[in-house]
Amino acid sequence: MKRVIFNQKGGVGKSSIASNLAAISAAKGLKTLLVDLDSQCNSSQYLLGKTAFENILQAKRRQDIGSFFTETLSFKLLTQKPTTYVHETPFENLDVVPAHPKLGDLQAQLEAKHKIYKLRDLLRSLEGYDAVYIDTPPAYNFFTLSALIAANSCLIPFDCDEFSRQALYTLLENVEEARSDHNNQLTVEGVIVNQFQPRASFPQRVVQELREEGLPLLNSFISSSVKMRESHERGIPLIHFAPKHKLTEELCALFTELHPHMAKPRKASGYRQKQAEEAML
């Protein structure tokens, strides 16, 4: 299953949700890949660690999604194997294809050369993954459309803001257009209510109205917590950083809702760095 996490509005928790769902997937024993298409590179730094990510950017021969797209602009065959762009994280079963801060500079060239299907081709060539999560930029652009073409389903983070609500209708139209024009297998798997405040009346009213309109809201809501920022700072997803925290439990409930057949872990996996440290004792 390939899922794209998409919302053209920034600040809705897109990267946090994509990274943590990928980490939970890996922790449950699924071989998981996260592809970062956002030039802010938040998911890449979060899952790889700041030092490892900077080493990738500074390598003499870059191996990120930007370098992949750069190679597609050549008339020659790709000089690097698809697996070259994949990097292990410190977390077992979890790999990343990292973004690059200058990814947006390639957009006009890629559009002019009609490279919109290249991401789909790359993911098809990467075998052995049970789950793929694609983090996208906060805009409906070349990279977002590439992700919608490459994916089976779309998850939409929504933060119960009135501006987000208005943008949601346009977003759903964009997804439907991508499905109609490029990828008839694409489905909207659900809208994820994020940063939910259960004691506030406005979010509850918005959620109720959206449900009455027939929008596909998922039942698992994600609340706001400083624990997420602490997790970002440490570079450790919540399933490893705070496995018993309420926010972690909410994200696990969301994962289970998306994978009802996996209510029980297939095989628990862990944090490679921690295991390495234990092995040295």
Boundaries of every domain in the chain: 2-279
- Of 182, 187, 277, 259, nearest to 220 (Cα)? 259
pLDDT surpassing 50 at residue 281? no
On whether the CB atoms of residues 67 and 58 are closer than 8 A, the answer is: no
Looking at residues 216-227, what average pLDDT do you find? 94
Q: Is the pLDDT of residue 212 over 70?
A: yes
Tokens matching residue 260 = 């009802």
Give the range with max mean pLDDT: 4-18, 28-42, 56-70, 207-221.
Answer: 28-42
Question: Pick the residue with more confidence: 12 or 228?
Answer: 228
Domain 2-279: CATH superfamily is P-loop containing nucleotide triphosphate hydrolases (3.40.50.300)
- The residue ranking higher by pLDDT, 266 or 22, is 22
Q: Rounded CA gap, 205 and 168, in Å?
A: 16
CA atoms of 231 and 238, how far apart (whole Å):
6
Q: If you average pLDDT over residues 162-166, what whole number do you get?
A: 78
pLDDT for the residue 202:
83
- Tell me the percentage of the chain whose pLDDT exceeds 90: 74
- Check: CB of residue 236 under 8 Å from CB of residue 245: no
pLDDT in tens, 65-120: 999 999 998 865 566 789 999 999 999 999 999 999 999 999 999 999 999 999 99
Beta bridge partners of 133: 3, 34
The predicted structure's pLDDT at residue 264: 58
Please give the residue that has the higher pLDDT: either 201 or 118: 118
Cross-sheet strand order for the sheet of 187-193: 87-88, 94-97, 32-36, 131-135, 2-5, 153-158, 187-193
272 — pLDDT class (breaks 50, 70, 90): low
